[in-house]
Amino acid sequence: MAKIDVKTVPVREGSGYPAPFHELAHGRRKQALGDAGGLRDFGVNLVTLPPGAWSSQRHWHAAEDEFVYVLAGTLTLVSDAGETPVAAGECAAFPKGVADGHHFINKGTVPAVYLEVGSRRDDDVCHYPDIDMHFETSAGWYTRKDGTPYPRR
């Protein structure tokens, strides 16, 4: 399959995080374009982030690279270095194994639209420096940092 009809790709709204961590990503809409195209080595999501919403909790990946390209609007990148605006036509990259928690917030008044691209690793561990949450891909669900699983929503 080469061409993907974006209008037919299912939309996932919100976040899969356990409560209460899912609340700040309310209204976030993702379309898994890579899945729709049959890709297996990396993922590509088309994301729409309404004003006031977060892309995710601040995090970093031990084994997965991430890349974000903003198509419309302006996002605020929040990382260990502080806050940086990322506007349409600009991008950001997050190499695996770099312990710099990051996420985006739409502080604007219009929806922001961006592509997020990331590797898909069965051995990834995702770290959340600001909250008591941890994720190991092999386990398939979120735990507290002491290993206690969160209830599923």
Dihedral of alpha carbons 78, 53, 130, 65, sign: negative
**Residue 140, both tokens:** 């398939």
N- to C-terminal Cα distance for the chain? 34
Predicted TM-score of the model (pTM): 0.95
Residue 133 lies in a domain: no
Tell me whether the omega of the peptide bond preceding residue 20 falls within 30 degrees of 0, making it cis: yes
Per-residue pLDDT tens over the stretch 108-124: 999 999 999 999 999 99
Residue 72 lies in a domain: yes
User: CA nearest 58: which of 85, 31, 76, 32?
Assistant: 76
Strands (E), 17-102: 29-32, 42-49, 60-61, 66-72, 74-79, 82-87, 91-94
- Per the prediction, the chain carries an average pLDDT of 97
Predicted confidence at residue 1, as pLDDT, reads: 64
Residue 145 lies in a domain: no
- Amino acid, res. 57: Q
Residue 153 lies in a domain: no
**Residue 43, both tokens:** 């993922």
Per-residue pLDDT tens over the stretch 74-99: 999 999 999 999 999 999 999 999 99
HSE of 138 in the Cβ direction (CA atoms, 13 Å)?
5
- Number of other CB atoms surrounding residue 146 within 10 Å: 7
Range of the domain at 97: 7-124
Say whether pLDDT at 22 is over 80: yes
**b/e map of 21-45 (b: 16 or more CB within 10 Å)?**
beebbebbbbbbbbebeeeeeebbb
Name the domain count of the chain: 1
Contacts of residue 3, defined as CB under 8 A and 6 or more positions apart, other chains included, come to none
Predicted confidence at residue 32, as pLDDT, reads: 98
Residue 131 lies in a domain: no
Q: What is the CATH number of the domain that holds 32?
A: 2.60.120.10
